[in-house]
Amino acid sequence: MELTVLVDNHTLIDRYFLGEPGLSLFIQEGDRRILLDVGYSDIFILNAQKMGLDLRHLDYVVLSHGHLDHTWGLVPLIRLFTEAAIEGLPHRRPTIVGHPDLLQTKTLPGLPEIGSILDGLKLARHFPLQLCPTPLALSDRLLFLGEIERRFDFEASEALGQIVTGDDHQPDFLLDDSALAYKSPQGLVIIVGCAHAGICNIVDYARQVCGEDRVLDIIGGLHLLNPTAERLEKTAAYLANLNLQGLHACHCTSPRP
């Protein structure tokens, strides 16, 4: 597997890439070409072009959850494929993969939409959808985890905004938050978007689903911006017990030491 960061909150200071508070990762796994998340804008496409990556040929676009910093890039992605069709350029439309709750309307006070701009009907006019709560194999080694079991009390989080369906408003506990697990010969590589489900919950569930206790690396946002002392201590202890060879935290992980 080869992983390339297309969008993160920060960029390399000596290269002319663009950054934003969002995330998009390009994964090449054998002959499979996969995006995890599409950021907030079109810069994942612009950065990919600078890197020589053609996003008009993808097998899957996996959306880790529905928040705007991971899904609003769907609109420029639709433009990319629409223009390819108009110009007669070679392209292969990817399947959109995510949790069944992925495309719900999500709100915060003063913000009428922090979820996906597109609902399922609109999105399905452009790409096949495969929204499933259970694990889904994307290749022999790469797995979409589906709905994450919430096992650790210290990671039990409060609702973040609300889910709106018609006139009904319900607390959003982000059950749509998911991740990828890559089964390498040396152990699992866990690839997350924001880890709203809790990074320990995600890793523990991935180990169970994959039948593999060894974890080699964790890549992505850990959503530890303002954790309680208990959560930080217990998360650190859990991760230490994994004997990781790498921890590549980015996006919504606190920059504070």
For 70-124, write each residue's pLDDT tens digit: 999 999 999 999 999 999 999 999 999 999 999 999 999 999 999 999 999 999 9
Closest CA relative to residue 135, chosen from 36, 223, 32, 205: 205
Give tens-digit pLDDT for 154-163: 997 789 999 9
CATH of the domain spanning 2-250, picked from 3.90.180.10, 3.20.20.220, 3.40.50.720, 3.60.15.10: 3.60.15.10
Give a three-class secondary structure readout of the chain.
CEEEEEECCCCCCCCCCCCCCCCEEEEEECCEEEEECCCCCCHHHHHHHHCCCCCCECCEEECCCCCHHHHCCHHHHHHHHHHHHHHCCCCECCEEEECCCCCCEEEECCECCCCCCCCHHHHHCCCCEEECCCCEECCCCEEECCCCCCCCHHHCCCCCCEEEECCEEEECCCCCCCEEEEEECCEEEEEECCCCCCHHHHHHHHHHHHCCCCEEEEEEECCCCCCCHHHHHHHHHHHHHCCCCEEEEECCCCCCC
pLDDT at 201 over 80: yes
pLDDT tens string 206-250: 999 999 999 999 999 998 888 889 999 999 999 999 999 999 999
User: What's the pLDDT band for 253 if we cut at 50, 70, 90?
Assistant: confident
**What pLDDT is stored for residue 257 in this prediction?**
54
Contact 61, 77 (CB under 8 A): yes
| Terminal alpha carbon distance of the chain | 30
Tokens of 37: 């998340």
Instruction: Say what percent of the chain tops pLDDT 90.
Output: 91
Structure token pair of residue 5: 């960061």
pLDDT interval class at 255 (50, 70, 90):
low
Domain segments of the chain as ranges = 2-250
Exposed, middle or buried by CB within 10 Å (0-12, 13-18, 19+), for 95?
middle
Q: Is the pLDDT of residue 54 over 70?
A: yes
pLDDT at 236: 94
* C-alpha closest to that of 199 among 243, 232, 170, 229: 232
CA–CA separation, 125 and 122 (whole Å): 6
Rounded Cα distance between 180 and 193, Å, is: 9
Whole-angstrom CA distances from 165 to 72, 106, 131, 134 are: 20, 9, 18, 23
Instruction: Choose the weakest-confidence range: 33-47, 85-99, 140-154, 241-255.
Output: 241-255
CA 165 to chain centre: 23
The two tokens of residue 200 are: 């320990």
